[in-house]
Amino acid sequence: MTLEISRIDPFDDVAVDAWWDAYAAAERADRGRDAVVWSREESRSELQQESAISERRAYLLRDGGTVVGSASLGLPLKDNTHVAHLAVSVHPGNRRRGHGSAALSFLELEAKASGRTTAQASTSWPFGLGPDGTGSPGREFSRRRGYALALGDVQNRLPLPVRPGLLERIEAEIAGFVAGYRIRSWAGPIPDDVVESWTALDATLETEAPTGDLDIEPQKPDVDSIREVESLLVAQRRTSLGTIALAADGTAAAYTQLVLSADDGNAYQWGTLVRAADRGHRLGIAVKVANLRMLQHEAPQAKAVYTYNAESNAHMLAVNTLLGFRPSERMGELQKRLA
């Protein structure tokens, strides 16, 4: 084996296409033909964006001039700058030849050269394999390479449209609990008058939500980062739909966000969080119901909503079950110390 690992130019369409083809082939081989993956053009837009949030590097793996896989390295630039995000995809026809191990070793060396001490990655497997993913190719590969399962997530899927009358029934049941809050929804960028409050709540998501053994630190609220993400969504032809619950003083007590992909017709659940001081008022389900209602109004063609929740997050899993979500896959968030 003479593996060549080369960093690609994100504006080289041929190289990006080859990189994405290897990624998509590997994901679908392990997760099924219907596995949801970032589209080719969504991925291209992300690689091409000049980012103040993360340095993104993409690589092609070649053996004898033939593309056998792809890899990527993400280096956070503002928060959690001790972490590196790694991904390796080897085409199913080129596995068991050492390509994946060589690429992962290369990425780990690149991460350490950039001062990173923790490597994080993820892998998905069929729901029926159970929480540990034993037997799935990605989990077994990562286990051999020293990556521990730091947090187990469940992917849930909600077919659209929602069952007739369900949203109305839930709204009636929770009306008394949310009476002291104002629910507000929009499509597109977060309105200027609430973006700072939204950002302050969003910054706590990674540490307020279950994080298992993940080595992550609280984020600093940063409106510029939020606006950068929104500009990427526009380039990707994705639409953000947000709902916020405002307390009497005008601050954000809860929020939720869906992102609709024009390429695959699905909506993806991003953050949902209720501020600690406002829990017990059914705000989590209130904002999710309002956002689902807006999604169906703004995009009646949407096929399904996908969401990931920590397997330990019993409350949010119960909320999703009430809305009609059903388990469809599992994902492991993996971690290895590099120091």
CATH number for the domain harbouring residue 284: 3.40.630.30
Residue 135 domain-assigned (yes or no): no
Residue 84 domain-assigned (yes or no): yes
100 and 189 share a domain?
no
Q: Phi, psi at residue 116, to the nearest 5°?
A: -90, 140
For the chain (339 residues), the mean pLDDT of every run of 10, in chain order, is 92 98 96 93 98 98 96 97 98 94 98 98 96 95 97 97 96 96 98 96 85 92 97 98 97 97 97 94 97 97 96 92 96 95
102 and 182 share a domain?
no
Residue 336 domain-assigned (yes or no): no
56 and 198 share a domain?
no
185 and 319 share a domain?
yes
Domain count, the chain: 2
251 and 325 share a domain?
yes
179 and 78 share a domain?
no
Integer Cα distance of 293 and 160 in angstroms: 11
Q: What is the DSSP string of 30-58?
A: HH-TT-----HHHHHHHHHS--SSEEEEE
Residue 338 domain-assigned (yes or no): no
112 and 8 share a domain?
yes
Give the pLDDT confidence score for residue 119 in this predicted structure. Answer: 98
Domain of 236 in residue numbering reads as: 157-330
Give the pLDDT confidence score for residue 218 in this predicted structure. Answer: 87
* Residue after which a domain boundary falls, among 116, 148, 167: 116
Give the pLDDT confidence score for residue 331 in this predicted structure. Answer: 97
Give the pLDDT confidence score for residue 1 in this predicted structure. Answer: 60
Integer Cα distance of 57 and 6 in angstroms: 10
| Secondary structure element (H or E) that encloses residue 335, with its range | strand 326-337
Residue 309 domain-assigned (yes or no): yes
Question: Which amino acid, 223?
Answer: V
Residue 16 domain-assigned (yes or no): yes
170 and 319 share a domain?
yes
215 and 280 share a domain?
yes
- C-alpha distances in Å from residue 297, one per residue of 96, 162, 175, 187, 335: 48, 12, 21, 11, 40
88 and 182 share a domain?
no
* Residue after which a domain boundary falls, among 116, 142, 176: 116
* Residue after which a domain boundary falls, among 87, 116, 145: 116
Residue tagged 């993806």 (tokens): 268
Integer Cα distance of 140 and 144 in angstroms: 6
Integer Cα distance of 133 and 31 in angstroms: 12
188 and 304 share a domain?
yes
Integer Cα distance of 238 and 295 in angstroms: 13
Residue 141 domain-assigned (yes or no): no
Residue 146 domain-assigned (yes or no): no
102 and 239 share a domain?
no
Give the pLDDT confidence score for residue 205 in this predicted structure. Answer: 84
